[in-house]
Amino acid sequence: MWPHQELDVPELRRDGQRAVPFHQFVLKVHSRCNLACTYCYVYEGPDTSWRDRPARVSDAVMARTARRVAEHAAAHELPVVHVNLHGGEPLLAGPAPLVDYVTRVRQAVAAACGHPCQVRATVQTNATLLSERTVSELAAAGIGIGVSLDGGTAGLNRRRADRRGRPAWPAARRGLAELARHPEAYLGILCVIDLEADPIDVYDSLTGLGPPAMDLLLPHANWSAPPPGKPLGAPAARGGPTPYADWLIPVFDRWFAAEHMPVRVRLFTEIIGLLLGVESATESVGTSPVAAVVVDTDGAIEQVDSLKSAYEGAPATGLDVFRNAFDEALEHPGVAARQLGMAALSDACRACPVVRVCGGGNYAHRYLAGAGFRHPSVYCADLERLIRHIALRVRAAADLPS
Ligand code: SF4
């Protein structure tokens, strides 16, 4: 049972809590991966639904999904929709189905919308399959390319290997070299934090790959399955060890001290924006309503993938693009809960002095087995320490009293 089953969505709507239309559509193209990273929450985590899905998205699912996206964009007069092609490893399907999927969405949106609506398309890949032809075809189709890595050297990527244990780095490095020839398509790098890696080595080596942006991600974890470096324990707000803040703070200081910041680091820019009163655009921090939805290779409408790290079936909605519109997904208790902002937070978070910036952290990181999501983040102490540190640095740089 979904732990927010007690949420009465019709009642919320009567109280004036409006659903926020989806504007980010995560479309699964291939449900398998050519790598077997040791920390992967999709293939090594509690949710095994990927085993029952078709490996590749079919023509029928692509056509129906494109119509559903267009229907949603038209109904809500969205000025822009973001289409994020994901896997597994989406490039296992080759570039043609990716271009085809995006073309179908663009054509359907143009046909359905009586207003201008831009379709911004991206693909997230492990870079091992980025050949010259693949990068050229994606770039020509206006599909931006984001890469997932653990750092910019072979040693830092030791956890990324294929099923036979062969390291992914040599192929990823070749792919990155091809991508560097198409800066118009190079979006940036996502990196999951490994406490065993030196933070400055990770930051400097990633910066050396020339991305316009990067994000440093806390590993998906929760109170019942804590991340490396954190003990198993009951949710306890504030205080405790802060290994992830200890890792991130030297990176922030190096990034913030640079005369010309070489790269946009999303976690840091989001926190600075929130400190200055700007709404967040990610699920990691802040209390902005979540506006992302997933369509899997079989057409199932799912919630965000990070929930896979909580328990078997956590992202499921029971809906699919053949029978259901995305508006129906907006009424799912799990989606509604992630759009409630402050109202979805635990008492401890609501009383917390940094809540406007932290927002309780990523929703998936608040989970405790048998007790749902209304808890502080398992990274609570790290988030508070990092936010306070960044606030101090920003105040000092602006010459404001702390
Ligand atoms: S808002 Fe963030 S820092 Fe504050 S109690 Fe909640 S999780 Fe912890």
Residue 295 CA to ligand 1 center (angstroms) comes to 31
Is residue 218 within 6 Å of ligand 1 at its C-beta?
no
Summarised one tens digit per residue, pLDDT across range 38-75 is 777 665 666 667 677 788 999 999 999 999 999 999 99
Per-residue burial over 103-136, b if 16 or more Cβ lie within 10 Å, else e, is ebbbebbeebbeeebebebbbbbbbbbbeeebbe
Residue 289 CA to ligand 1 center (angstroms) comes to 17
Return phi, psi of residue 29, to 5°.
-105, -35
Mean pLDDT confidence for 370-390: 95
Is residue 286 within 6 Å of ligand 1 at its C-beta?
no
Return phi, psi of residue 291, to 5°.
-125, 30
Residue 99 CA to ligand 1 center (angstroms) comes to 41
How confident is the model at residue 5, as a pLDDT? 45
In sequence order, the β-bridge partners of residue 167 are: 161
Summarised one tens digit per residue, pLDDT across range 10-36 is 777 777 778 899 999 999 999 888 888
Summarised one tens digit per residue, pLDDT across range 90-122 is 999 899 999 999 999 999 999 999 999 999 999
How confident is the model at residue 39, as a pLDDT? 74
With pLDDT > 90 as the criterion, what percentage of the chain qualifies? 72
Ligand 1 mutation pick, 284, 355, 378, 385, max ligand atoms within 8 A of CB = 355
pLDDT grade for 381, boundaries at 50, 70 and 90: very high
Mean pLDDT confidence for 153-182: 93
Is residue 348 within 6 Å of ligand 1 at its C-beta?
yes
The Cα–Cα gap between 13 and 19 comes to 8
Six token digits for residue 9: 């969505």
- Mean pLDDT score across all residues of the chain: 91
Q: Which residues, other chains included, contact 52 with Cβ-Cβ below 8 Å and sequence gap of 6+?
A: none
Ligand 1 mutation pick, 366, 380, 388, max ligand atoms within 8 A of CB = 380
How confident is the model at residue 401, as a pLDDT? 67
- Going by alpha carbons, the residue nearest to atom 8 of ligand 1 is 380
Is residue 237 within 6 Å of ligand 1 at its C-beta?
yes
CA-closest candidate to residue 179, choices 202, 217, 204, 212: 212
With pLDDT > 70 as the criterion, what percentage of the chain qualifies? 94
Q: Specify the CATH number for 9-397; select among 3.50.40.10, 3.20.20.70, 1.10.3720.10, 3.40.50.1100.
A: 3.20.20.70
Lay out the sheet containing 213-217: strands in order across: 264-265, 213-217, 186-192, 143-148, 118-125, 80-86, 24-28, 292-295, 300-302, 316-320
pLDDT grade for 6, boundaries at 50, 70 and 90: low
Give the number of other Cβ atoms within 10 Å of residue 328's Cβ. 14
The verdict on pTM exceeding 0.85 is yes
Give the number of other Cβ atoms within 10 Å of residue 234's Cβ. 8
Give the number of other Cβ atoms within 10 Å of residue 311's Cβ. 17
Averaging pLDDT over each range in 43-52, 155-164, 198-207, 367-376, which range is the top one? 198-207
How confident is the model at residue 22, as a pLDDT? 96
Is residue 235 within 6 Å of ligand 1 at its C-beta?
no
Q: Which residue has 């109280």 as its token pair?
A: 15
The Cα–Cα gap between 161 and 168 comes to 5
Six token digits for residue 124: 């997230």
Using CB atoms within 10 A of its CB, is residue 291 exposed (0-12), middle (13-18) or buried (19+)?
Answer: buried
pLDDT grade for 181, boundaries at 50, 70 and 90: very high
